[in-house]
Amino acid sequence: MDRFPEACVERTVEWVDTDASGHQHNSAILRWVEAAEAELFRSLELPDYFPSAPRVQQVINYQAKLWFGQRITATVRIQALGRTSLTMAFQVTSDAGEVAAHGTVTTVHVPNGSTTARPWPEHFVKAVQGS
């Protein structure tokens, strides 16, 4: 497979998404990314992903400010699938196409009842790899 799957969501920067300076609060970026992540795993028909995939690393690089009322697009793409981990790259852009933030989120597979990472189930690997 040449490319892993991706998903996008569009949002409007709401008043609750801003801080005292009037631009997006740093936490808004991750909420939009998580909405795109949810869309990705819904599209892959993998509802069991969320209760078993805690985050182990988040890297956010802020590049531009987003303002109340502005439209944004958050895009998440699976970047790497390991035996027990999954890394997604993301980008949040303004309606003008300017990159406001980009980074990565890494999760691991910890099935219900387990306290350590385990290999991703076969159905998950097949769905992510498109096979």
The domain that holds 95 is classified in CATH as 3.10.129.10
pLDDT per residue over 57-112, tens digit each? 999 999 999 999 999 999 999 999 999 999 999 999 999 999 999 999 999 999 99
Tell me, yes or no, whether 1 lies in a domain.
no
d(CA 99, CA 104): 14
pLDDT per residue over 5-57, tens digit each? 999 999 999 999 999 888 999 999 999 999 999 999 999 999 999 999 999 99
Tell me, yes or no, whether 98 lies in a domain.
yes
Predicted local distance difference test score (pLDDT) of residue 128 = 94
Predicted local distance difference test score (pLDDT) of residue 5 = 92
Predicted local distance difference test score (pLDDT) of residue 94 = 96
Tell me the pLDDT of the chain averaged across its residues: 94
d(CA 99, CA 96): 9
Residue 1 pLDDT > 50: no
Tell me, yes or no, whether 53 lies in a domain.
yes
Number of domains in the chain: 1
- pLDDT above 90 covers what percent of the chain? 92
Tell me, yes or no, whether 34 lies in a domain.
yes
- Alpha helices (runs of H) in the chain, residue ranges in sequence order: 26-43, 122-129
- Domain of residue 105, residue span: 6-129
